[in-house]
């Protein structure tokens, strides 16, 4: 009877050990899957940033100051949800050449929208005064 109890105890210990080992392997597998997901996410973010740089060229990393509200940010500042529009005078613009749509007066917004639709140049009100 004692031998039977000892055998059952050893079997129980082996079973518990096997169960702990399987749980540990599952935890490691979960960590590995999470690391792989994180790696894929970082690669996608790098690829998106590269595409952004390619599409905006040198403007992607350069900061500009808005001609109306004086906020300083990048032209493609999607994280902040800010739409930037440039005066077509570029470097010749009196106030720096970049504007947030929401900061422009209503008449300027209409003029800008019309130029976007028609493909015409848009010159800010500051440059129009010349």
Query: What's the pLDDT tens digit per position in 16-55?
Result: 999 999 999 999 999 999 999 999 999 998 888 777 666 5
Nearest to 121, CA basis, from 96, 91, 89, 97? 89
The pLDDT, as a whole number, for residue 83 is 74
Nearest to 68, CA basis, from 109, 116, 29? 109
The pLDDT, as a whole number, for residue 126 is 82
Is the pLDDT at 4 greater than 60, yes or no? yes
Query: pTM for the complete prediction?
Result: 0.44
The pLDDT, as a whole number, for residue 23 is 95
Q: Which residue has the tokens 């540990």?
A: 24
Mean pLDDT of the region 83-110: 81
Please enumerate in sequence order all residues whose Cβ is within 8 A of that of 122, keeping only pairs 6 or more positions apart, or say none: 85, 87, 88, 111, 112, 115, 116
pLDDT digits (tens, 9 = 90+) for 54-82: 655 555 556 667 766 777 776 666 666 66
Which is more confident, 4 or 40?
A: 40
Cα end-to-end span (Å), the chain: 108
Q: Which residue has the tokens 């300083």?
A: 72
């Amino acid at each position: 009877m004692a031998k039977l109890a000892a055998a059952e105890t050893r079997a129980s210990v082996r079973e518990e050990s096997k169960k702990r080992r399987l749980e540990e392997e599952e935890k490691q597998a979960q960590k590995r899957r999470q690391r792989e997901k994180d790696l894929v996410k970082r690669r996608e973010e790098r690829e998106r940033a590269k595409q952004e740089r390619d599409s905006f060229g040198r403007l992607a990393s350069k900061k500009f100051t808005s001609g109306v509200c004086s906020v300083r940010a990048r032209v493609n500042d999607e994280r902040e949800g800010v739409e930037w529009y440039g005066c077509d005078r570029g470097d010749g613009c009196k106030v720096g050449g970049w504007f947030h749509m929401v900061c422009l007066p209503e008449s300027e917004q209409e003029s800008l929208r019309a130029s976007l639709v028609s493909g015409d140049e848009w010159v800010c009100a500051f440059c129009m005064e010349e």
